[in-house]
Structure formats: structure tokens, C-alpha cells
Structure 1
Amino acid sequence: MTFLSVNVNKAAVLRNSRGGREPDPVALARLALAAGSHGVTMHPRPDQRHIRLDDVLGIPPILGKAEFNLEGNPFASPRVGYPGLLELVRRVMPAQVTLVPDGDGQLTSDHGFDLSADLSELEGLVRSFKQDAVRVSVFVDAGCSGLERLKACGVDRIEIYTGPFADAFSSGHFAPELDACVRTANEARNAGLGVNAGHDLCQANLPVLLQAIPFIDEVSIGHALFCEALHDGFGPTVRRYLAILESRRITP
């Protein structure tokens, strides 16, 4: 069975655009878990553009048997309000840490690690995370190779960056991108690695991906899920407001 981890970063984006406390990412995480989600994902950035330290610290008490997947760039140095990914992991002890090579200038994660250039530095970092008995997943591009080297340095899973597949799916011509995902998933499984997937997955394209790669362990979904929830839940919310006004109507 493929697990769903709901990424609640978008709640923090909305909150931070206005200030204050609403919407609360931890409260949204609690709703996701109540609805049956197998886990929660957060990806705090050093610039605190959305998820903040207090959001991360608020997740462990609400998890129950669900898993916390904490994403981040292991190369990013600590700064005010952001203690660094390794320190965050040691504070909250998530079930899984997903290492992602994103920089401050990136709007969102848009590529995996360059294994030929980054592996030597990653190897030492992976050992540090593994000392805390945390499952380590590494964000990779579909179509990459050399995954056996990740296994050798202690990585447990890869997460396939599915953005190109999702973009191609929306155009109706996605066979090459899907094939790249399949090849990478098969190589990972042959190397003894688990397979996660994430980025721009939605209700339309997810069944196609799972049909092609039925052994995916986990999908992390945030942006599309929040967009779909806005569409599917906005009407009922408006009707509830109208009902409140109707109930307070004073007959002249």
C-alpha cells in the first residue's frame, strides 16, 4: 500500500502573507490526520518564507501512529530562526527526513541532487542523520542513474521528483516522463532502496503514476491537494456563511 503524507506548507504561505496565526499549519495537519492521512510533511526553508520552527515543533504531539516527514536542504547553514536541518531532526525525531537540494532563490523544489557532484558530501550527512535512527530519503530526478551509490552510503529511500511528469501529463503527452520515473523506480528497487514520489501530483495524474509504479511507498502531496480542497470545499463554506446570515435576519 502507498502511504499519503500531506504537505501543509501552503497553509503557512497563506498565513505569512497576512501575518497573524491563521491558517495554522498544525491545525491543518490535524485535520489531514483526522481524515486518514498516513503522515504529515513539512519543508521549512532557512528564510522562513512559510513553515517556521514553531510549526515544526507542533507536529510530534499530534501524530499518534502517523509519520512525520521533514524535508530540507542539508547543506543550508543555520541562521536566526532556523537551526539547520540536522538540529531540527534532532529536536523532533521525525520518522523520515527527505534531503532536497533547494536554495533560497527557488520558488519550490525543482530538481534532485547531482549524484556525481554531491554524493561525497551527502555521505557524511547521511551518517549523521542515521545516528539518530531516522529514515533517510534523497530527492532525485527521474531518469537519473547511480542509485546504488546512495544505498551504499546508507540512504533508505529516494523520492522521485515528479514535476516534469505532472507538467507533461497536463499536456496529454507524458509517456517519456513517465518512463523516466519507472526506470528510476526500478533501479532504486533493484538497489534495495524504497521509492517515494512527490511534486505536483494530483487526483488526475496520481492513478497513472501508481499504475506504472505500484510499489511506491509514499507520496507527498501539498499544493494540488490544497487547490482541490479550495474548489471542492469553497461552495459549502459560502453556504454555511449564508445560513448564519439567514438565521440572524430580522423581519421588519
Structure 2
Amino acid sequence: MSSGCEELTSYLKQSGTKSFKYFLRHYRDAIVANTSPLLLWRDLNNSLRERFLVEAKKILNQNDFDNLEKQVNQEQKRYNFEYYWNNVLEEVKIKQDILAHEAEEARIQDELSHLRHKLSEIQENAKIQNNEDDTSKQMSKNASNISDTTSNFSICQKSKTHKSLEDEKIDKFLDSKYKEKKIEQGIIQEVILFIQKEKILISLINTPKTQDSNIKVSEDKNGHKLARLFFDAKIAEEIIC
């Protein structure tokens, strides 16, 4: 034992019969708290017994001390106290193991807390980066769509504004001849295309040729009107040529 003198002195000063066995039993907690697990039970027992007698001699008169010393020796022979001290040593070791594990647990908890915080930061940074990447991709996509739309619009405008001289002559002829007749204009345009390509239009049924064109027409109720359109187309073709 490294200390415990206060408990021992307090016990010896009490009135009544003194006993080493009684002291060991009633001050066990203090003995456990001041015992080193590295010592053997016999060394612990001898050390505390000698201290018990030394302190008793300081407090008691010689007669009382002689009686107490005799009683202590008898108790030592009778009980030996080996079981008592081995039990104390086992408790001391277990308590020290608990303290060591609690200290390790505290260290592990601190480390876990640090790792969890670090993990949270990494995940948050990754989330922010993903959001920035998605935003950048969407902006690039929008810019590409705008560019494609602008390009297509430019092509359409270019195709509308850049007409050939031949197309301009046809449009001028149709506007002057059939200003309010869009359907007839369409027919005339198709006829002119066929004439320009030196092809002959064939109707679904056999019909005679017109006098002014090599194009066959139907003899139904609209035949004369269609023939006139073909004739006008021939005129337009001659204008173009």
C-alpha cells in the first residue's frame, strides 16, 4: 500500500477492541484504492500488518499494544488473508482495465467525431461541386441551343432572301397574272417546272392536246380552265427563257 495512513490512524483511535481482520474488512475500499496490482498478496499483507502495529504503538499504551500485537499474530495464523488479498488485487486490475478502456473509448470517440466532421465536409463540397457542374452543363446546353436556333434562322433567312433570277421572274409573272389565286399559282409553278425540265405532263386519262401547248389536259368541267393555266405556264416559260 502506498497510503491509507489516515484511515488506519482513525481506526486505532476509536474506542473498543482493535482487530487487524476488522480493519481489513471495513476499510476494503480504501485498501483497494491504494493497492498496486504489481505486488504479491503476501507482500501486501505483511506491509499493511507492520504499519498497523507501528501506528498502534504510537497511539496505545504498552499494555494495550501488547494485547493488540498478540491478537494480530493469532489472526494472521488463523485466516492467512491470502484469499482476501487476491480478491483485492483482482478488483484493482479490473478497475484499471476499465479506466484504460474508458480512456481509449474517449480517444476513439474524439477520433470518430473528427472523422465524421471531415466526412461531412467532403460530402458537402462534393454536393456543391456537382451543383456547379450541372449548372455549367445546363448553361452550355442553353448556349448551344441558342446558337443552333440562330444558325437555323440565318439559313432560313438566307434561303428566303437569296432567290435565283429565274425564281424572281416566275414570282413576278404569277403576282401579275394571278394575284388573288394562290392555288392556281401553285399549279402554274408545277407546270413551269415540268416545262423547264422538258417533261410532258400526263393526266390520269387519255385526253387530246391543246393547241397552244404540248401538255395534255383533262376534258372535265375544269378542263378549259386547266388548259388556260397550262397555256399561261407556257408563256411564263417563254418569258423565263
**TM-score between the two structures when normalised by the length of structure 2:** 0.24
Q: Could you state the TM-score of these two structures normalised by the residue count of structure 1?
A: 0.23
Determine which structure has the larger strand proportion and give its number. 1
Higher relative contact order (CA 8 A, sep 6+): 1
- The structure with the largest alpha-carbon Rg is 2
